[in-house]
A and B are shown apart, each in its own frame.
Chain A
Amino acid sequence: MINLFSFKEATNRSTTGGDPNKPTSKTTPAVLRVTKDLNELQLPGTCKVIHPDPNNLLDFNLTFTPDEGLYKGGQFIFSFRVPVEYPHSPPKVKCTQKIYHPNIDLEGNVCLNILREDWKPVLTINAVIYGLIFLFVEPNADDPLNKEAAEVLKNNKRTFEQNVAQSMRGGNVGSVSFDRVLTHHR
């Protein structure tokens, strides 16, 4: 008679070394989880996820083209690097362009609570993307990575709007030049 336990024991014996209850396949927990996250993405038309290497699900880019707010007309590209500890560690997200935003520094680091101190393993790639969208609808002057931009946003909304428009055209704000991110010529 086939006995489940003897079957289990036989399989355990055949796998050499390591924890016998660990899967032998190369699919890591992070890949399994990311696959589920990507299959369940529910994104607005302004967002697109692109995998430069289809064999590597852990590295991908997000293209975001806001249809409202101060950043409308721009196209922003974020790189996502999912660590092997995912979902116990958050994905590493960077803006690939140099942009003028109070919560994104000139190196592209993003200040979003759920990417840092408020990360929880029940969050998903979808939740992170919605967090990014929110940053572009509502730049937050209270938690800045680009302090100059945050000061301007706090003190003079009108100047801030002009600075955003100027930077998106590839112009300078102060002494800093920014990348052109407009989707079309005006």
Chain B
Amino acid sequence: MINSCKNKMRIRFKEFNGVAIWKWIANDDSCGICRMPFDASCSECRYPGNDCPVLHGECSHCYHEHCIKKWINSQQTNKLCPMCRQEWKSVP
């Protein structure tokens, strides 16, 4: 059958579904604060992805945005990275 049609496919695509996978770019697999994987949501959230993004610090450490913001906002004076105690500055 295939030989007889000289490499020409005798089918027609009616429809196809594209599938994509995504993964956060981070220096670690999981958030040091909640210990949940970055590709899952923080333990306060239900859906991973845009609803629960990952924030990078200038010190190279990453956390779920919700986790690190909760920690930074709870600190009165020094807003430090919980991993390395350098001043926390998030990379935009």
Contact = CB atoms under 8 A, between A and B. Distances in A.
Interface string B69-92: 011001000000011010000000
10 contacts: A21-B45, A21-B46, A22-B46, A23-B45, A23-B46, A29-B43, A33-B43, A87-B34, A88-B70, A121-B32
Contacts of A51: none
Interface string A26-58: 000100110011000000000000000000000
Contacts of A24: 46
Given A21-B51, A87-B34, A122 B83 contact: yes
Interface residues of B, number: 22
Contacts, number: 47
**Per DSSP, are chain B's interface residues mostly helix, strand or loop, or mixed?**
loop
B67 A121 contact: yes
A8 interface: yes
A17 to B, nearest CB: 15
Nearest to B35: A36
Interface of A: 1, 8, 21-24, 29, 32-33, 36-37, 87-88, 120-122
A87 B33 contact: yes
Given A121-B82, A122-B82, A33 B35 contact: yes
Given A36-B35, A122-B32, A88 B43 contact: no
Interface in B8-62: 17, 32-36, 41-47, 51-52
Contacts of B47: 8, 21
B30 to A, nearest CB: 9
Given A22-B44, A29-B43, A33-B43, A121 B51 contact: no
